[in-house]
Structures are given as C-alpha cells and as structure tokens.
Amino acid sequence: MARVYLIDDNPRSHLFYSVERPVGVGSPNQRDDVLLVQFLLRVRAECGEGSAEYVPPGEQPLAMDGMCGPQTIKYIKQYQKIASQKNPAIPLVQDGVVSPVAAGTGGISGTVSGRMLCIAGLNSHYGKIRGKPATLDITKDPLFPLALRPYLKVAAS
C-alpha cells in the first residue's frame, strides 16, 4: 500500500509519498505502488522546466494503469538517467527500480542508497513543480489517478 509520511523542515514538501514495495524490473509491482510511481513520473514528464527530457525517446504519455509494463520501465529508467545527469553528486542507481524508503530509523530517510533516492527525487520534483502546498493533498492534482485514492495510507515517520 502506498504510504504518506509527514515531514518537517523540507523546503519543497509537507508530505513524502512512498511505495510500500519496489516497482520496476523484477519487482513485486503492487498496483497501488505502480500507480503512485506512474503518477509522479507523469507529472515530471509533462510539467515544469525540462519536462520533455524525462520522456523516453519515441514514447507516448505514460499510461497510469497500475501495470508495470515496458512503458513504465522505460519511464523509470529515463527518470533515473536524466536525474543522475542533472545531479551527478548524488546519482541514482540506474536499474529500472523505484524502491521504498528505509524503515526503522525513526524517520523517512533511512540509509541513503541510490534506489531510495529515486522515490525521494520524484517527491522533490513533485514539490518543485506543483509547489509545497500541493504536496498536502496530491489527490487534488489534475493528473492524480482516482484508483490510487483508497490505497494511500498515512504512516508514522
């Protein structure tokens, strides 16, 4: 189940949205987790400065269907590639997987790893593109997939 964490002292977001299980190549690909990743990827690929760079060459807009097929994998890999190029000091693992944040640390950060940074990067981009107030309720976003609404679960940070 996709999770929502309340965070303090973040310049771009009030809330942090995370998958519960990994999404992508060789992953469990739970429908709600896939929908969350597809939504965040689609906002990055369609909105804000440099959005076209996040669209894989020759691809149509990302379908938000909760299925992690070839198109979703291409979008994940493209995001990892471009985000790494734009921030070479903290490159992402380019494995086509979006992993959940680490648990058990008393916070949402956990052990920093390239995989975790992918979901963190998607959250950061969402806050930058839509603005910090929009992070309080992503269900109001015009691109938000309504099928995801019942699955968002508030988690203790």
pLDDT per residue over 85-134, tens digit each? 998 888 888 899 999 886 544 445 445 565 558 998 999 999 999 998 89
| Mean pLDDT for the stretch of residues 7-14 | 69
Alpha helices in the chain (DSSP H): 31-46, 70-86, 114-130
Quote the CA–CA distance of 4 and 66 in Å, as a whole number.
18
Domain residues for 62? 3-154
Count of structural domains within the chain: 1
Quote the CA–CA distance of 42 and 51 in Å, as a whole number.
9
- pLDDT for position 51: 96
Q: What tens digit of pLDDT does each residue of 11-51 get?
A: 766 788 999 999 999 999 999 999 999 999 999 999 999 99
Q: Which helix (H) or strand (E) holds 3?
A: strand 3-6
Quote the CA–CA distance of 110 and 98 in Å, as a whole number.
15
- pLDDT for position 15: 82
